[in-house]
Copies of this chain bind each other. A is one copy, B any other.
Amino acid sequence: MNLEVFLGKARFRNPLVLASGTFGYGLTHTHVIDRMGAFVTKGITVQERVGNPPPRIWDTAETVINSVGLENVGLKRFKEETLPLIHISTPLYVNLAGVDLDDFRILIKSLRDDERVAGFELNLSCPNVKEGGVALGQSVDRVREVTSLARSLTTKPLWAKLTSNFCDVRQTSKAAADAGADALVLINTLNALVIDIKGRKPFLGAGSGGLSGPAIKPYVLYIVKEVSRQINIPVIASGGVTSGTDVIEYLLAGASLVQLGSINLVDPEAGLRILEELKRYFEQEGISSPAGIIGQLEER
């Protein structure tokens, strides 16, 4: 059995990707990272960010709401201090969280020639920062501009990570594809508000956060199916995966790779379990490679 997936020339040993923000910078748990298809770093900004005031986490039985607010070491320290410490055998994608074109230009120019960096995930969708982030990703024009710029600056794989908040993600997907993205990542967290009724104020220190976890899976699955049928670049799914079954659902719906996010918080070795579940399914069903099921969902 061969779980390899190719997106263009980029090879992934299996369809599992550790999602941005849920696995740090790749400095720990490398025994997990080294078994995955790819690893995406926490979002990196040009300047170091201390992040949002606590509390930053809320959850229900099937969701997580976070407002970490892109706390990260910033481009300089990432390049000088963090990157040299990352020792993984899995393609390293850097999640770039820019506010405007200048930011993305600086980020890509600084990192594009580092051979440890396999590619970039353009974060056009973080709901946890006031500027940039989700606001960028809601505008078809901004998505096109940022992706075009990024494309003009690097030949490395470029993933555009999009949002469905307050916009038509089918349109932004098309814009990113037209502007030269190699793949779409669908989707970042949903805007979410948790209220402390005693204090009559938002529970999270930042006011609001981003919703993820198993409850959003049916919603994201629908989006992945719709977009992957309309847009002819690969789709990478991100939303609510906790099991091998979920991965297969996303592959059937049309995703080529599948990200694991919130589940890593419950169990940083979840990726290993999910990989085993995936293998067992492929074995049982006599499927020889992911290509055999990607997009194979029948219509009703």
Query: Chain A residues in contact with chain B, CB under 8 A?
Result: 58, 60-63, 65, 138, 164, 166-170, 190-195, 197, 199-202, 204-209, 211, 214-216, 218-219, 221-223, 225-226, 245, 248-249, 252-253, 281, 293, 296-300
Contact = CB atoms under 8 A, between A and B. Distances in A.
Which of A164, A206, A300 has most chain B Cβ within 10 Å?
Answer: A300
Given A138-B168, A166-B170, A206-B300, A63 B221 contact: no
Contact of A252 (B195, B245, B297): B195
Given A60-B62, A215-B63, A219-B211, A197 B248 contact: yes
A293 B169 CA distance: 35
Nearest to A191: B222
A168 B140 CA distance: 12
Copies in the complex: 2
Contact of A297 (B202, B215, B297): B202
Among A191, A218, A248, chain B packs the most CB atoms within 10 A around the CB of A218
A169 B166 contact: yes
A300 B248 contact: no
B300 A201 contact: yes
A225 B168 contact: no
Given A138-B168, A166-B168, A195-B249, A298 B221 contact: no
List the 10 closest A-B pairs by CB distance, nearest first.
A215-B215, A192-B218, A207-B300, A193-B222, A201-B298, A195-B249, A193-B221, A191-B222, A62-B62, A166-B168
Given A60-B215, A63-B62, A193 B253 contact: yes
Contact of A195 (B202, B205, B297, B299): B297
Nearest to A167: B168
A184 to B, nearest CB: 15
Nearest to A58: B218
A192 B214 CA distance: 13
A63 B252 contact: no
Contacts of A253: 193, 195
A241 to B, nearest CB: 13
Q: In the complex, which of the residues A138, A204, A223, A245 has the most CB atoms of chain B within 10 Å of its own CB atom?
A: A223
Nearest to A52: B300
Contact of A223 (B191, B199, B205, B223): B191
A195 B298 CA distance: 10
A140 to B, nearest CB: 11
